[in-house]
Structure 1
Amino acid sequence: MDYSTWFKKHGEKHRKIMKKLTELSDEEIIEYFRFENMAEKEPEFCPLYAQKKKCHDMEVLNCYLCACPYFRFDDNGLYKKEGKTYYSTCSINAKEGKKFVSDNAVHQDCSGCLLPHKEPFIRKVFNRNWFEIMKNSNHSQ
């Protein structure tokens, strides 16, 4: 699955859940998106929920963002450098981030970064519309 397809599908899953939570406060919504609650109440949101497996080893994993608003991608490539096409990158060059490099492509590897799963960060960027938070990420549109 390419980045754009995942982005659109995930955003729609997020929107569907948010329609059910309109009566909750912002703080209650953030709490609702904690891993344990989501695995129980929204098992279709993430394939890891069926295995009760977290994507990151952290005590309080919050799934509200799932992706990071600093992640940038373009399915056709953001730019080329030294013969390689960069398909994704981190706009803040997070020190926990890495690059996955193949013969002709570079992709951002965010697996070491916990930022979007931390509740203080989620509160900082919170918007009930996930697409609004992520508006700068998808350069394929």
Structure 2
Amino acid sequence: MKKDRILFFLFLLIFLVSATLLISGSSILVVSLLDVPAGTPITWLGLISLASMVYLGIRAIRHPETGIYKILNWILKLNILLAILWVPICYFLAGNLSFNFSEKATFQGGQLAMRIFWIFTYSLVATPLLLILFHYMISLFRVLWKKSQK
């Protein structure tokens, strides 16, 4: 097996385990690991693995040949970078590694920071999914275009 394929399946496994634990609301998520809830690294690994899995799984994005795929490649690389930086950015927003927010009047740990946290986190999940959809739309249009040219 090629290195890319092995990494793809590794990221797929990490993503599936992470998603299963998060969706089920497993009690493992609140177990403290060095004063950090296990849900924090589990979510972090899930976010990184989702974007990395899409990057490794779609050759046209990984090795772009057209302008649109060069843009998709850039967007996905930015998404991977932001997923890697998710914990430090969210720590700045929440002021803690549990990512708990309150009704504080200050920014850090307050309601505005909480909204930014959720928008940021959801965008890290939505972006790779939208890129998959966009890739398949491009592929469909290419097939339809070729058929119309015959």
Q: Which structure carries more helix by proportion? A: 2
**TM-score normalised per structure 1:** 0.34
**TM-score normalised per structure 2:** 0.33
Q: Which structure carries more strand by proportion? A: 1
Q: Which has the higher contact order (CA 8 A, sep 6+)?
A: 1
Bigger Rg, which one: 2
